[in-house]
């Protein structure tokens, strides 16, 4: 596979996110939970003016500016990764695609459409969307790949301690 194929996650995340949001908006009533797997998984169409998981960092403009700055950072990280870092490139592309999906909402609607509602009774995870899922999975994969300690290979042997030579007696002639 060619290195650019790692980037296919970007359009995949963006298209899946936007299509699912269009379906939700056209078929579900806002703020009315619809059971999918009983109370465990529901579809609850909401408008999120805050950040991920409903965090509020200020106005929608602040959220949009922060998200666009994050896009720049993600793009730079992707650009600087070597072509053979396939898993990291794919994970960054997932994050990038998800981030773009939510930015499209922020620019178009000044809020994000969320609809996946998971939990038990009153113990519920904040409602999220497909873009958030791509971001979360991508970040987890990045964390796992960057946290691995590189083990020495045959090409890069472990450094051996330097040999210690006995001290040389410079005063005597060595025939004591």
* pLDDT tens column, 38-97: 999 999 999 988 766 566 666 667 777 888 888 888 889 888 888 888 899 999 999 999
In the block, tokens 């960057």 appear at 146
Domain-embedded: residue 174: no
Structural domain harbouring 95: 13-23+30-147
Q: Is 114 a catalytic residue?
A: yes
Q: Rounded mean pLDDT of 120-149?
A: 91
**Long-range interactions of 81-87: CB distance < 8 A, separation 24+:** 83/3, 84/3, 86/1, 86/3, 86/6, 87/141, 87/145
Q: Is residue 56 part of a domain?
A: yes
Q: Does residue 78 fall inside a structural domain?
A: yes
Q: 57 in a domain, yes or no?
A: yes
> Across residues 94-118, what is the average pLDDT?
93
Residue matched to tokens 């579809």: 43
Q: Is residue 70 part of a domain?
A: yes
> When comparing pLDDT for 87 and 147, which is higher?
87
Into how many domains does the chain fold? Answer: 1
Which residue of the set 114, 117, 122, 169 is catalytic?
Answer: 114
Give the per-residue pLDDT at 114: 96
Higher pLDDT, 35 or 57: 35
Q: Is residue 112 part of a domain?
A: yes
Q: Is the dihedral of CA 122, 26, 137, 107 positive or negative?
A: negative
Whether 19 has a pLDDT exceeding 80, the answer reads yes
For residues 123-146, give the mean pLDDT: 94
Please give the model's pTM, rounded to 2 decimal places: 0.77
Using DSSP's 3-state secondary structure scheme, residue 73 falls into helix
In a domain, 2, yes or no: no
Q: Which of 6, 132, 173, 176 is catalytic?
A: 132
First to last CA, the chain: 72
Gap between the Cα atoms of 47 and 68, Å rounded: 20
The DSSP string of 95-151 is HHHHHHHHHHHHHHHSSEEEEEEEEETTEEPPPB-HHHHHHHHHHHHHHHHHHSPPP
């Amino acid at each position: 596979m060619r290195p650019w194929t790692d980037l296919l996650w970007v359009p995949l995340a963006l298209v899946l996110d936007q299509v699912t949001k269009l379906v939700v908006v056209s078929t579900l009533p806002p703020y009315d939970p619809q059971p999918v797997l009983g109370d465990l998984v529901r579809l609850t169409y909401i408008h999120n003016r805050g950040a991920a998981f409903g965090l509020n960092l200020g106005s929608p403009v602040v959220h949009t500016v922060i998200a666009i700055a994050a896009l720049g950072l993600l793009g730079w990280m992707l650009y600087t990764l070597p072509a053979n870092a396939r898993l990291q490139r794919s994970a960054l592309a997932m994050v990038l695609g998800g981030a773009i999906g939510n930015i499209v909402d922020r620019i178009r609607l000044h809020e994000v459409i969320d609809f996946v509602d998971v939990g038990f009774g009153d113990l519920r995870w904040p409602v999220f969307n497909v873009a958030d899922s791509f971001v979360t999975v991508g970040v987890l994969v990045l964390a796992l790949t960057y946290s691995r300690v590189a083990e020495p290979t045959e090409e890069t042997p472990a450094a051996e301690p330097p040999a210690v030579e006995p001290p040389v007696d410079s005063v005597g002639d060595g025939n004591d």
